[in-house]
Structure 1
């Protein structure tokens, strides 16, 4: 069976660097960070003092207040990003086509804030006072569920939960849905709202988070003085369409999705496999899926978390796949500015990768002052570069040994 071609026709985002795609992208290419001192919680209660929080977000611009109260914050972000993406794509969903438009939006941990708040209610006031919306607010698939209801999209409806690989896996799986002919369009991405007491406590307990109190230097991927990731929040959603479907309705096209790889380490619940072996296989799988050679890739938006093992092993994986070409392509981590959005990270980074292709600009890795000797590639340090590129690859790696890679091509 011939594979159908799939393109990106709409973008929507709520991120620590902006509450829409245009603002987020402009801040990214200017090297402006969205990381600040933790305000949603008391920083004195945690060794991690900084976070990448969404700022000045007004959910009532997208939802009625009564409806919003029945949703967790991660669903608010997903709904907003999805509405923006559909509007950007000028995609009309109606009775005629709704069964051919699907939704696939993932979340790494779902409604943690709702869980914590309602557990407090239960302890203080008993089960009768727990919200009847507790379960549907908390479960990770409710972002997809609510978006499909609001948009009226009745096609494939699913939710991926693969920790920090969630956003990339979601887009990759949605890509395959269209490619094999089960839908003509998919609303897809990831959403996360993990800046909560227990989330922060858990990540602090396993020493994953940076304890650097300076927001300007806490997230520094590939720098030898990195000491952990900075937790972030938000959502990224893209509209994927079958190429002829998009052309027929005159849609603008940001980029083409041409390859997807997904693998498991089968090694450890939190640590990556030595030398990034699983990540290397995911990248190779995406290249093979697109039927291109490693030498054709121009740019990699790295997972680049600013943790010791990730940055070192992801670099090793890139070298294993690309050989000498690894030193010729550009690699950058936008998490240096957005922080780590967990299940939303890959979706937001897919948006940045598509815009890099369309606009010929490579986002920088900020705060890269003293590179780790084991991290010796071109990480586009501190300033964006203008460069026309044809292929961009985006990596996401998650707890549980999940590895996911998307490959994008400039559309001409």
Structure 2
């Protein structure tokens, strides 16, 4: 099987509009969560989120493009431009034919849906814009990235709630590993911070009104975020032959299903997924230096995940660093694993472990090294990234320091 490396990364989120800005925010333990600035926010019980502030679509796109691009598509396109620009690739001929796009999203064009439901039901209009369907569809972002960069290989969207990005990146990894593609543009994007999106999550009663505090005994729920993380995955020998800068190597992936409950996480399945990812990567638990946790800040997820990590890593669990960057940028739902992969690359490349901020009280059920409140310098060579979604759909990625 072929080796797979990452040669480009791009992002936009509440922490910044580039990878460098995001890494700086993670180093500083900066919180990007704040008061929401959306229509009808006064009708919401939850009024905070990891919102991309100061964003003006007209700076990046013309009027015709804006009529076609939902906010989540705009984020994906901006992150893809940064990633592909860093990779230094131009897609023509055989390379274009062997390069595809696999993205993760859960809601897709939810802002577009929200706006058009208002048009029909609240304002009583009988007509909507003719581009509503191509604007809101879940594969819109993948389609527009493929068109903008002339990518003619396998391209599609994965929607598995909070594991969407990890599933997408796992699929992209396998496409290259098994020779079905030379390069893949992959990651995820999400923008659910509209009235309907937040109101729907309120109904689950898992949202915090004040802060995301993963692993802290006084945690009281998750906080939504928005944004995108996009990467260029590339065949190792292709990257070496052209002298590309390698950010990290993807060495393993595992995906499984709880097959038990639509919302409650399973310690057994999460542990099995972590073990399977290490087996696929051909690594021993003692090699893992850092885990980017799913770490939502809910009572059920955090204790279940810590138990799963402890079970999967055994005696090494007390030595591994595990943190949740959702405490800083919020839960990007379908896009969350992609933005969190940046913390994994930062750990490998920069030797900096992103912290779990807002940590206030130790929880005996989360008694691992959660890197509380301050980033930490550490030399790690192997990292894992966890994603455990509603529906019991799990995906764990394994990465190694650039060869």
Provide the TM-score with structure 1 as the length reference: 0.95
Asked if structure 2 preserves the Cα contact closer than 8 Å seen for 1:19 and 1:57, the reply is no
- What is the distance in 1 between the residues matched to 2:40 and 2:55? 20
Partner of 2:325: 334
Once the two structures are TM-superposed, the CA of residue 58 in structure 1 deviates from its matched residue by 3.5
Secondary structure of the structure 2 residue equivalent to 1:170: helix
Asked if structure 2 preserves the Cα contact closer than 8 Å seen for 1:106 and 1:143, the reply is no
Asked if structure 2 preserves the Cα contact closer than 8 Å seen for 1:81 and 1:237, the reply is yes
- What is the distance in 2 between the residues matched to 1:131 and 1:42? 22
Is 1:238 equivalent to 2:236 in the alignment?
Answer: no
- What is the distance in 1 between the residues matched to 2:260 and 2:251? 29
Once the two structures are TM-superposed, the CA of residue 125 in structure 1 deviates from its matched residue by 4.5
Is 1:267 equivalent to 2:260 in the alignment?
Answer: yes
Partner of 1:71: 69
Partner of 2:383: 392
- What is the distance in 1 between the residues matched to 2:298 and 2:39? 23
Once the two structures are TM-superposed, the CA of residue 43 in structure 1 deviates from its matched residue by 3.8
**Residues 10, 60 of structure 1: CA spacing in aligned structure 2 closer, same or farther, 3 A cutoff?**
farther
* Equivalent position to 1:403, from 394, 400, 403: 394
* Equivalent position to 2:93, from 82, 92, 95: 95
* Equivalent position to 2:212, from 206, 219, 225: 219
Partner of 2:366: 375
Once the two structures are TM-superposed, the CA of residue 44 in structure 1 deviates from its matched residue by 2.8
- What is the distance in 1 between the residues matched to 2:47 and 2:277? 37
Partner of 1:215: none
Q: Deviations over 1:196-253 (max 9, x none)?
A: 11211111111021022xxxxx111000111110110000001000001101111100
- What is the distance in 1 between the residues matched to 2:319 and 2:257? 28
Once the two structures are TM-superposed, the CA of residue 68 in structure 1 deviates from its matched residue by 1.8
Asked if structure 2 preserves the Cα contact closer than 8 Å seen for 1:164 and 1:343, the reply is yes
Q: Deviations over 1:301-323 (max 9, x none)?
A: 00001011010000000011011
**Gap regions ≥5 residues in structure 2:** none
- What is the distance in 1 between the residues matched to 2:253 and 2:94? 30
- What is the distance in 1 between the residues matched to 2:351 and 2:236? 22
Asked if structure 2 preserves the Cα contact closer than 8 Å seen for 1:261 and 1:285, the reply is yes
* Equivalent position to 2:315, from 306, 309, 324: 324
Secondary structure of the structure 1 residue equivalent to 2:102: strand
Is 1:350 equivalent to 2:348 in the alignment?
Answer: no
* Equivalent position to 1:201, from 199, 202, 215: 199
Asked if structure 1 preserves the Cα contact closer than 8 Å seen for 2:8 and 2:83, the reply is yes
Count, aligned residues:
402
User: Superposition pairs for residues 37-56 of structure 1, below 5 Å?
Assistant: 37-56=35-54
Q: Deviations over 1:58-102 (max 9, x none)?
A: 334443232122111000000111111000111111234210111
Is 1:253 equivalent to 2:246 in the alignment?
Answer: yes
Asked if structure 2 preserves the Cα contact closer than 8 Å seen for 1:232 and 1:340, the reply is yes
User: Superposition pairs for residues 247-326 of structure 1, below 5 Å?
Assistant: 247-273=240-266, 276-326=267-317
Asked if structure 2 preserves the Cα contact closer than 8 Å seen for 1:304 and 1:333, the reply is yes
Partner of 1:29: 27
Partner of 1:229: 222
- What is the distance in 2 between the residues matched to 1:309 and 1:247? 44
Secondary structure of the structure 1 residue equivalent to 2:385: strand
- What is the distance in 2 between the residues matched to 1:192 and 1:119? 19
- What is the distance in 2 between the residues matched to 1:259 and 1:96? 27
Once the two structures are TM-superposed, the CA of residue 171 in structure 1 deviates from its matched residue by 0.6
- What is the distance in 1 between the residues matched to 2:278 and 2:94? 36
Secondary structure of the structure 1 residue equivalent to 2:135: helix
**Gap regions ≥5 residues in structure 1:** 213-217
Asked if structure 1 preserves the Cα contact closer than 8 Å seen for 2:346 and 2:353, the reply is no
Once the two structures are TM-superposed, the CA of residue 126 in structure 1 deviates from its matched residue by 4.2
- Aligned residues: CA RMSD: 1.2
Secondary structure of the structure 1 residue equivalent to 2:233: strand
Partner of 2:175: 177
**Residues 340, 363 of structure 1: CA spacing in aligned structure 2 closer, same or farther, 3 A cutoff?**
same
- What is the distance in 2 between the residues matched to 1:380 and 1:330? 6
- What is the distance in 2 between the residues matched to 1:346 and 1:384? 19
Partner of 1:138: 136
Secondary structure of the structure 2 residue equivalent to 1:159: strand
Secondary structure of the structure 2 residue equivalent to 1:298: strand
